[in-house]
Amino acid sequence: MDSNVETIALIRHGRSIANDDNDVYKMMPDHVIPLARPDDDPDAHRAGLRLRALALDPARTCSWRSPYVRCVQTEALVMRAALGDAFAGVLRRDSFLLREQEFGDWDGLDEAEMAAFAPAQFARRTRMSDHHGRFYFRYPCGESRADVVQRLALFMAKLHRSQFRHHLIFLHGVTQRAFRMAWFNRSVEWFEDEPNPANASVLLIARGTSGRWEERYAD
**Rounded CA separation 217/124 (Å):** 36
Q: Which amino acid is at 17?
A: I
Give the angle 188-190-193 at the CA atoms, nearest 5°: 110
- Residue ranges per structural domain of the chain: 7-102+143-217, 103-142
What integer pLDDT is reported at residue 1 of this predicted model?
47
Is the Cβ–Cβ distance between 65 and 72 less than 8 Å?
Answer: yes
What integer pLDDT is reported at residue 121 of this predicted model?
87
What integer pLDDT is reported at residue 203 of this predicted model?
98
CA 111 to chain centre: 23
Question: Average pLDDT by consecutive 10-residue portion of the chain (219 residues)?
Answer: 85 97 91 96 97 94 97 97 88 96 86 87 80 84 95 96 96 98 96 96 95 94
Topology of the domain covering 7-102+143-217: Rossmann fold (3.40.50)
The residues facing 2 across adjacent strands are: none
